[in-house]
Structure 1
Amino acid sequence: MARRTKIYEGKAKTLYEGPEPDTLVQYFKDDATAFNAEKKAVIDGKGVLNNRLSEYFMVGLEQIGVPTHFLKRLNMREQLIRRVEIIPLEVIVRNFAAGSFSKRMGIEEGTPMPRPIVEFSYKDDSLGDPLVPEEYVIAFGWASQQELDDIVALALRVNDFLSGVMYGVGIKLVDFKIELGRVYDGDFMRLVVADEISPDSCRLWDIETGRKLDKDVFRQDLGDLADAYTEVATRLGVMPSNVTHPSGKPTLIN
């Protein structure tokens, strides 16, 4: 790691200069944060799980024609990704009321949305990633109207894919957030799904019991976060079903 040039360090990942032009190495850390980093902890094995789970989802999206920044997994904690121009928005898709949405709208958690709702928040930790309307996005030049339309279409395709995959293993996709970036090929530009897709960025509830299998476990002190993420990975076939998580060192299938 010391030989690499660090490009960016976030709360859960670090980006390094890649081995080839227009590539980066994305390193998944074990750090867990909540409430805009007011609550912090180190969860052994979390980065390993998120690396493998994000790979699983990104590969699945590519297979159905949704472009992503993912190129390949390098090892247990690192991915090779395309360098993209990140759009400074978190794109949130809600299938059921939960979290801040329930508080903001006075709707009981778990209430189904009449249709998937797409929201945008401006990526700025110092401001708490505030929700912004489409008018702000266009007025401040974060994205054009055409890009915004494409972003919504991509987000809904991701939602269809993730909802189906999760439902197949007995998990309800309550909501999730993604980031998108621009990739240029001469004069041609396309949008790709970037950052990560993992239990860090999704709300996942067991369909039968309602048990939470996402970062709310950490936010709300509901148990061991790595156990929850391991459960998701096991159901998806990323980990063998006979593996437990006693030591914080998960064993993953290559």
Structure 2
Amino acid sequence: MARRRMIYEGKAKILYEGPEPDTLIQYFKDDATAFNAQKHAVIEGKGVLNNRLSEHFMSGLNAIGVPTHFIRRLNMREQLVRMVEIIPLEVVVRNFAAGSMAKRLGIDEGTALPRPIIEFYLKDDALGDPLVTEEHVIAFGWASQQDVDDMVALALRVNDFVSGVMYGVGIRLVDFKIEIGRVFEGDFQRLIVADEISPDSCRLWDIETNQKLDKDVFRHDIGSLTDAYTEVATRLGVMPRNGNKVSGPKLVQ
């Protein structure tokens, strides 16, 4: 059967035309990138793991009344999702200091923050996805004040849910990023969680050992990305404990 028409290809996923009106098929690739795609590898099985993990979290959010674009998983690599108008911002929620925040503010990595801190980054690879303020967001028309308020509320609800699920399996949710899109229902607009929730978009540390179980493993060459993601999936019950491991990375020049 001929492949459906491709709508968009990103670093980790491809979007295809969906079988029903206002739907898309989201395909998870095996590509791993870091440092604005300056580092790139193809890691066999990564897309399968992220598909299953994102399904797990998106389904859970839908079940507790947090709206997402996820409809259902189609196969090992594909999901049926709602078509949304993506707001051109990455919404980052930080529970502990790490990554760019730790460097920017001179805070020791792993320091617990006094409360979850939400940051906005403009989605622009050419500019390196710069940090922006609410004032920038509103002044340049990327989102309205009501949109910003709704994005903050959605992000905090996602944080409550995902951090609780992770804590239950001995994993600390250090930070994460989500994308949010607009859907239109009649004359009304609402915002929903889109893209994915997976170790690609979260920092995840083992509570006891601080072992990294996320894309930092690939960024900093500190172990096997496949093993890290498989460990998360196994603890969450997404994969059986005795499941077969996928093979390691294939570097792309």
Contact 2:45 2:246 in 1 (8 A): no
Q: Give the Å deviation of 1:2.
A: 4.4
The residue number in structure 2 matching 1:251 is: none
The residue number in structure 1 matching 2:162 is: 162
1:176 aligns with 2:166: no
SS in 1 for 2:184: strand
Q: Give the Å deviation of 1:247.
A: 3.4
1:129 aligns with 2:129: yes
Could you give the per-residue CA deviations for residues 95-151 of structure 1, whole angstroms, max 9, x where no partner exists? 000011110000000000010000000000000000000001001111110110010
The residue number in structure 1 matching 2:219 is: 219
The residue number in structure 2 matching 1:235 is: 235
Provide the rounded CA distance (Å) in 2 between the counterparts of 1:105 and 1:12: 30
What are the equivalent positions in structure 2 for 1:76-155 lying under 5 Å apart?
76-155=76-155
The residue number in structure 2 matching 1:61 is: 61
1:204 aligns with 2:204: yes
Q: Give the Å deviation of 1:244.
A: 4.7
* One-letter amino acid of the counterpart of residue 5, structure 1: R
Q: Aligned pairs, how many? A: 248
Q: Which runs of no fewer than 5 residues in structure 1 stay unpaired? A: 249-254
For normalisation by structure 1, the TM-score amounts to 0.96
* One-letter amino acid of the counterpart of residue 94, structure 1: R
Q: Give the Å deviation of 1:164.
A: 0.3
Provide the rounded CA distance (Å) in 2 between the counterparts of 1:113 and 1:136: 24
Contact 2:121 2:131 in 1 (8 A): yes
Which aligned runs of 4 or more in structure 1 are off by greater than 6 angstroms?
A: none
SS in 1 for 2:91: strand
* One-letter amino acid of the counterpart of residue 149, structure 2: D
* One-letter amino acid of the counterpart of residue 11, structure 1: K
Q: Give the Å deviation of 1:186.
A: 1.2
SS in 1 for 2:166: helix
SS in 2 for 1:181: strand
Provide the rounded CA distance (Å) in 1 between the counterparts of 2:3 and 2:39: 31
Q: Give the Å deviation of 1:58.
A: 0.2
What are the equivalent positions in structure 2 for 1:12-23 lying under 5 Å apart?
12-23=12-23
Q: 1:198 to 1:134 in 2, by over 3 A?
A: same
Q: 1:246 to 1:50 in 2, by over 3 A?
A: closer
SS in 1 for 2:68: coil
* One-letter amino acid of the counterpart of residue 176, structure 2: F
Provide the rounded CA distance (Å) in 1 between the counterparts of 2:160 and 2:178: 14
Contact 2:206 2:213 in 1 (8 A): yes
Provide the rounded CA distance (Å) in 2 between the counterparts of 1:182 and 1:210: 36
Could you give the per-residue CA deviations for residues 156-180 of structure 1, whole angstroms, max 9, x where no partner exists? 0000001100000000000000000
For normalisation by structure 2, the TM-score amounts to 0.96
Q: Which runs of no fewer than 5 residues in structure 2 stay unpaired? A: 249-253
Provide the rounded CA distance (Å) in 1 between the counterparts of 2:106 and 2:186: 48
Contact 2:226 2:247 in 1 (8 A): no
Provide the rounded CA distance (Å) in 2 between the counterparts of 1:79 and 1:141: 31
1:25 aligns with 2:25: yes
SS in 2 for 1:33: strand
Could you give the per-residue CA deviations for residues 6-34 of structure 1, whole angstroms, max 9, x where no partner exists? 10000000000000110000000000000
Provide the rounded CA distance (Å) in 2 between the counterparts of 1:242 and 1:107: 40
Q: 1:12 to 1:246 in 2, by over 3 A?
A: closer
Provide the rounded CA distance (Å) in 2 between the counterparts of 1:116 and 1:40: 31
Provide the rounded CA distance (Å) in 2 between the counterparts of 1:2 and 1:213: 37
1:39 aligns with 2:39: yes
The residue number in structure 2 matching 1:52 is: 52
Provide the rounded CA distance (Å) in 1 between the counterparts of 2:36 and 2:79: 25
Q: Give the Å deviation of 1:245.
A: 1.7
* One-letter amino acid of the counterpart of residue 235, structure 1: R
Contact 2:32 2:41 in 1 (8 A): yes
